[in-house]
Structure 1
């Protein structure tokens, strides 16, 4: 640990809560616990905020992926404690969440220039956006974290038809449905009728008065598979595909119960449609349902960290922990040992999902001690617990006149063996993620194994991007208007597979969630809220706080 900065000893040395890792879950918990009055120490071994949710320059992203995809080195011998007999020391190790990392530079003259490559803010957990009405936005508004981040809308959403490159617009309003030239008049009428039924059902469900004449979806239909309800509404396959994968954002083939990882019920499908519908028009500066943070997804955990710091949370970056400290008699958790050798104590501990207990340490523990650290023992990887991710730096856009766009390829749309949807998010320089003449393309798909996931991503890339050929950029511009050559050119590419780890409550020691395979943060936020309730005991997350002006007004009213 000779590369650690010369940190002075931390003071104080005892906290209510220690959190290691500044991912979204950990940062929400730090902000919530600090707001409730708990003393919080928030550490991160990285030199940046965000952990697995960070937005990084190309050199930093390359370094992170390579260093976090290698087998962890053996832990160094623990530094001597002030009194080695006080506690039992359990060594911690970092396991890799990433595998099959493949990074290729096609334009070294541009992207190998560090001054140029550091103008990128590239998401480690992409593609990811936020719905204007989803829980992460509500939580940011409630906590005040929204004051530290700014969003812009995603211009358009498309569903890919097949490998020919056809992209069908996802209609997000009555006007959009009738403007869509890819839909026939009958298809437009059926889609309008379907949305009217859903909106009428939602209006009736939210009304406090019982209306016998209100149009509602029956209880029987609500418990049936969503795909069957869509068929009952006489929607053609093209429309069903847009609803299932372009709006409800499902992963698996809903028409095949054998291969489907999650056959969605109608009540869940209607809830997803409600999220989409209520997101449209919520904010005046958002054109559609989806928004993206300027400077990248890493701004979201940073916003919660800033809120936590305002409430007294102490932050230390570049600070790994090397061991847990357990009571020798009871096996209870007491604290952690920092890489500097200092021992820090707390009542509760939350760890980054890649931190685990070394197997050598586990073999020497008693049953009670093993129970204390059980959430840190690596679980066996079962099927469908991985997500393949891809990043491309491209010249020009995949869709003419559209800078920021989401593209979804439903299962089997690109090739027969495609088991899950492939999501593609294109972002332009207006979001401060890349230079003005480029775009960043993010791709992801859930998968059973690395080869399957990477094959799916490469198929989507070949559909959207021109194959790289040994020609300079000037010669390509000559055929810019040729339809066969209109696809953008890839300048840099990364492929990798990430393990999915769910957060887990373990009493004194808990683990946070890794980035999941979803498009938004709802499941991650839900996991963080549940963990907070278990840690704090059901106390409300981010109690409504009055501004100084509101407090003064309340005081004036009391005086009257």
Structure 2
């Protein structure tokens, strides 16, 4: 076997984040020589799911109080309850960039057409809730479930009859919002805040507006009408695609980190070479455009490659959007959040809770100006032991972001009968570059999206990089992208490697693509 330095690689990919890993998946049947490396000792990069030990090391690396050119993550801190003193590290798998995936997402279609979906266990995302603070200190805050289907609206007793009619009118409108007649209604308001459009065109009061805004999954209170309608339409049209009662799924064992690992596994089966704990020390400038790129690895080995693909998770842009995250492990299964709300629906493993602006108040009495979202994950996700849950809080970064997220955690625990918090990890994340960049045969993929739901536009840069590597000048080459036939014996090999699933996971049909 040739050594790394003796091989002329077709492509070297650095980083095992979701985008780099999906690129490796797309190239896994190409017959090209692929070297896939990562300076980390684990897969997933900015999309990784970490054990507590890994999280401890990760926090030390990203503890700086300000975003620098070294990482899109900063200000990481850990707080652990003294009781119990020692949590079993490998019993936890805490996701750095938690996103749900709508059932109509192009990502799911590509996982099906590439046959990678067979190695992933998808769990349903259940109810969406709006947090309602209490004006009486003696009465705990509450969570109000959002009705998002016709049946939900008719059956709920939380909304008066007249308001139901207004909400039903809006839901009917948004399901067909891009038709010619409906587009005439909203296009003149496209760049106005969605709240203004809801009040003027549908007479929705503040409470109903809070329900609608929660479905946008936007961290911006002033999300514009154009963007808000598109996301709500995606949510409503995704409802029931793979079964009743849910519009989105979440991959078991760490979300997008699991997708990245499965994609890398496919790359390895296709002949790719994988090396963790090895990054790039230096890229030697090409003397000629057509010459291979010379890359010095951190191990000291020099390799040559036709294409070099890098991520940009270590290159935040000045003034880039920033969000703050708080991950909390609590001593309760939070069973009330994961109840089946529709007959014959699978038991959900994820619930979504939205805090409208003003509903979170710090200890100093300062109210939140932007929404806060919480993903509640049961132990069925494989991210914590049975009897516990993981809460993922997110809001836009501001000077009081950490205090606001801590206040949101405290108020949610009060609403959920005050379980104990065992562990907290706080950090900030910047957006970085937003589009693919290339110079010669050196390609930089964009930084991960900060959206709370997977953004299919992420896939465009992967497709573009694939065409570069494949020299995609043929008109019909796109027909080959992420479309693979079963390998002989592949299903048996997959079954032998797959984890045993004891939860209610979603079966995605093979014709979903």
| Alignment TM-score, normalising by the size of structure 1 | 0.74
2:368 to 418, 431, 443: 418
Report 1:308-327 matches (<5 A). 308-327=267-286
Give me the whole-angstrom Cα distance separating, in 1, the residues matched to 2:296 and 2:276. Answer: 15
Give me the whole-angstrom Cα distance separating, in 1, the residues matched to 2:209 and 2:188. Answer: 16
Runs (5+) with no aligned partner, structure 2: 135-139, 339-348, 489-513
Report 1:56-67 matches (<5 A). 56-67=50-61
Q: Which residue of 1 aligns with 2:298?
A: 339
Give me the whole-angstrom Cα distance separating, in 2, the residues matched to 1:423 and 1:333. Answer: 47
Q: Which residue of 2 aligns with 1:479?
A: none
Give me the whole-angstrom Cα distance separating, in 2, the residues matched to 1:433 and 1:36. Answer: 34
2:28 is equivalent to residue 28 of structure 1? no
Q: Which residue of 1 aligns with 2:458?
A: 524
Give me the whole-angstrom Cα distance separating, in 1, the residues matched to 2:122 and 2:116. Answer: 13
How many angstroms does 1:330 deviate by? 7.1
Give me the whole-angstrom Cα distance separating, in 1, the residues matched to 2:76 and 2:275. Answer: 29
C-alpha contact 1:252 1:411 (8 A) present in aligned 2: no
Give CA-to-partner distance per residue, 1:153-202, whole Å, 9 cap, x none.
12211122346633221222212122323211112121111112223445
How many angstroms does 1:340 deviate by? 2.3
SS at match of 2:43: coil
Report 1:80-229 matches (<5 A). 95-110=70-85, 112-113=86-87, 116-126=88-98, 128-162=99-133, 165-201=141-177, 204=179, 217-218=184-185, 220-221=187-188, 223=190, 225=192, 226-229=194-197
Give me the whole-angstrom Cα distance separating, in 2, the residues matched to 1:273 and 1:38. Answer: 41
Give CA-to-partner distance per residue, 1:258-309, whole Å, 9 cap, x none.
xxxxx4233x33321221112111113x631121111112101112112222
Give me the whole-angstrom Cα distance separating, in 2, the residues matched to 1:411 and 1:397. Answer: 27
How many angstroms does 1:510 deviate by? 2.5
C-alpha contact 2:316 2:431 (8 A) present in aligned 1: no
The farther-off stretch of 386-395 and 529-538 is 529-538
1:238 to 194, 200, 207: 207
C-alpha contact 1:28 1:304 (8 A) present in aligned 2: yes
C-alpha contact 1:68 1:97 (8 A) present in aligned 2: no
Cα distance, 1:162–1:545 mapped onto 2, change above 3 Å: same
C-alpha contact 2:175 2:237 (8 A) present in aligned 1: no
How many angstroms does 1:453 deviate by? 2.4
Give me the whole-angstrom Cα distance separating, in 2, the residues matched to 1:138 and 1:533. Answer: 19
Give me the whole-angstrom Cα distance separating, in 2, the residues matched to 1:515 and 1:379. Answer: 11
Give me the whole-angstrom Cα distance separating, in 1, the residues matched to 2:246 and 2:156. Answer: 15
2:217 is equivalent to residue 249 of structure 1? yes
Give me the whole-angstrom Cα distance separating, in 2, the residues matched to 1:387 and 1:200. Answer: 32
Give me the whole-angstrom Cα distance separating, in 1, the residues matched to 2:232 and 2:279. Answer: 43
Give me the whole-angstrom Cα distance separating, in 1, the residues matched to 2:69 and 2:63. Answer: 11
C-alpha contact 1:326 1:333 (8 A) present in aligned 2: no
SS at match of 1:465: helix
How many angstroms does 1:339 deviate by? 2.1
SS at match of 2:84: helix
2:332 is equivalent to residue 396 of structure 1? yes
Q: Which residue of 2 aligns with 1:492?
A: 423
C-alpha contact 1:144 1:307 (8 A) present in aligned 2: no
Q: Which residue of 2 aligns with 1:364?
A: none
Give me the whole-angstrom Cα distance separating, in 2, the residues matched to 1:94 and 1:313. Answer: 30
SS at match of 2:294: strand
How many angstroms does 1:24 deviate by? 0.5
Cα distance, 1:272–1:120 mapped onto 2, change above 3 Å: same
How many angstroms does 1:418 deviate by? 2.5
Give me the whole-angstrom Cα distance separating, in 1, the residues matched to 2:76 and 2:187. Answer: 47
2:10 is equivalent to residue 42 of structure 1? no
C-alpha contact 1:172 1:288 (8 A) present in aligned 2: no
1:504 to 417, 436, 439: 436
Q: Which residue of 2 aligns with 1:386?
A: 322
C-alpha contact 2:334 2:389 (8 A) present in aligned 1: no
1:432 to 359, 382, 396: 382
Cα distance, 1:346–1:420 mapped onto 2, change above 3 Å: farther
Residues paired across the two proteins, number: 456
Give me the whole-angstrom Cα distance separating, in 1, the residues matched to 2:288 and 2:446. Answer: 31
SS at match of 1:418: coil
Q: Which residue of 2 aligns with 1:408?
A: 354
2:245 is equivalent to residue 279 of structure 1? no
SS at match of 2:4: coil
